[in-house]
Structure 1
């Protein structure tokens, strides 16, 4: 089937990607005829696509093919979107389906290669960070309770290292690959930074709390920077 030539190189490059997604190997002469350009132009287009990270294998004289079934354009993710992706991969990583788990592990490794590192999480596998008592997904199950308590100003009883802590949740932060709950601990009378992978149980208490000087979010932020 003959296609009318795209009106610009950008459109032609997009059309080339679509054409290569059939999984077959296409020689330059075929593509040149299809898009109404020279073989030399096709070679330059392939070099451009490869330089932009499109997974195309091949070289002049051997033909070209797409090495991935699906390609996505560059994405700019918000922190909330990244958190949702992290949670989803972690849960799938604990699923019984071996194929799904393998796919989730592969995707997490690819994401890990392009996400920025920080000093606390360097070397950890994104989405599958090992923890003292299990994987991330188990502990991320506490997130809905912590979020609701933070919004509702609800006190919590949190079990960490075998010890109960009566806390006022003040902030939930996502540090690279680790969730942390900043809280005022009424048991210890000080601020705690509670990593979710260190929490083994959370109980919602009936008591509510109000901001008090030295025990609120502003004081928590000051303690972090001080």
Structure 2
């Protein structure tokens, strides 16, 4: 059995969340216990939530896994490009996630599909404009998940600052900048705020519900193209 196949089989075994002894794993895969120890170090090093030690056993906690995928060369290049974009143009949490995900992919793809020494031959778009708003991304994502209002000091295109209380609905990337569509309590309307123009972002304790006319679905309806002819 190839090592990549064996690592995949180990993941499938550990997905049940129970404790497995190295001896039993070695017998199931017809390898030595020393091989199992090395494989476990590899899986843990790739970022999988594996706990345990030699002589006790191993288990996977809170696993999130995908079914087997067969990727074409073009799909693999697209995946690597996307990870490179995230690695350069996102906040630290997402950068770390992109790095660990790339390591996992490299550990299981066939030898002939690994990145060539000269790289994938892709130019990554300059993300200087987007970087200004990265510091706010973790807090914005938290507010969106928890439906909590944000107190915001925002600088517009002319450089004027204003204070807003907003209901953040989503984060969107437009090639150069990230924006946050939101319901603005001050304007009583939907507004889209560029994250690189946010001077101060504070998470408040005030939560919001999906009220009619203020929800994300209402926002999508407001920006959808009209069916009527101009």
Normalization by structure 1: what TM-score? 0.47
Query: Whose radius of gyration is greater, 1 or 2?
Result: 1
Normalization by structure 2: what TM-score? 0.46
